[in-house]
Structure 1
Amino acid sequence: MFAFMRPIDILNNHKLKRTSCREGIIEIVMEANQALSENEIRERLAGNYDRTTFYRSFKTLVEHHIIHKIVVDNQVVKYALDKPETHKSAHAHFYCNTCNTVKCLDNIPVQHYALPDGYAGEETEVLIKGTCSVCKEQASL
């Protein structure tokens, strides 16, 4: 998907130490065509990393804006490669209520809202919930 980028280049761009766990997490997120949960990433990660190593690596990648969090609700949180790495602008996300997938909607830009005096916006998240095309097609069979 992002063939022009390598995990090691991303880590170097952020002046982060290269570790196999960090590289593995980035590679998994890059190869997925949808956002993944922490558990999905951990299950796909090759190698025997203890919980502490995984979570420290994961936290570092989130803090350095290499991957970003997509909060669906208080039980579902997914992660995808962040905008600086993908060179995408702010965009909406789609959550399928049927198969629980989260996809970036790159062609749907996030609107900038005029806020009242004294307010300063820092982030805007747009999450659209519904049925994805695959589930909708399967339901019509």
Structure 2
Amino acid sequence: MSGAEILNFHKLKRTSCREGILKVMLSSKQALSEGEIRDNLKGHYDRTTFYRSFKTLEAKRIIHKVVVDNLFVKYALGNTLNPKKMHAHFFCKDCNSVECLNNTPIPTYPLPDGYTYSDTEVIIKGSCAKCNQ
């Protein structure tokens, strides 16, 4: 699916910045930081245009945030196009890559009475297959 198709699916106005962000993310096999995405679009958009477009895509859950720790955040395409089970993320401590583990479901956890679930995040840390070679 192209960036234009994703925006149309979500009934969002097609802008070159939004399409550019999605093109960068669609071409990557791993999650990217905001800076990595911006660097791939360097010189095309000012900071305000990029930031507003980026935040719109996040608010519409087209992209989702993966928080590895307080100083390390990456973004991946969301699950709103093809709803998937909740999934874990893998963080490689060697190359700092983050990947969605779509075939690694997150178990449900029993909660005390009166508690309601909103979200669960699982980050598995280690070394990726590439770094283990």
Scaled by the length of structure 1, the TM-score of the pair is: 0.90
State how 1:62-73 maps to structure 2 within 5 Å.
62-73=58-69
State yes or no: 1:121 paired with 2:129. no
Output the amino acid matched with 2:36. E
Runs of 4+ displaced beyond 3 Å: none
Write out per-residue CA displacement over residues 63-92 of structure 1, whole angstroms, 9 at most, x where no aligned residue: 000000000001110000001124432111
Q: CA deviation at 1:55?
A: 0.2
State yes or no: 1:94 paired with 2:90. yes
Output the amino acid matched with 2:28. A
Structure 1: runs of 5 or more not aligned: none
Q: CA deviation at 1:124?
A: 0.7
For residue 134 of structure 1, what is the aligned residue in structure 2? 130
Aligned length: 133
Determine what percentage of the aligned residue pairs are the same residue: 59
Alpha-carbon distance in 2 for matches of 1:30, 1:54: 17
Structure 2: runs of 5 or more not aligned: none
State how 1:50-89 maps to structure 2 within 5 Å.
50-89=46-85
For residue 106 of structure 1, what is the aligned residue in structure 2? 102
Give the secondary-structure state (helix, strand or coil) at the position aligned to 1:72. Answer: strand
Alpha-carbon distance in 1 for matches of 2:76, 2:60: 13
Give the secondary-structure state (helix, strand or coil) at the position aligned to 1:85. Answer: coil
State yes or no: 1:49 paired with 2:45. yes
Scaled by the length of structure 2, the TM-score of the pair is: 0.95
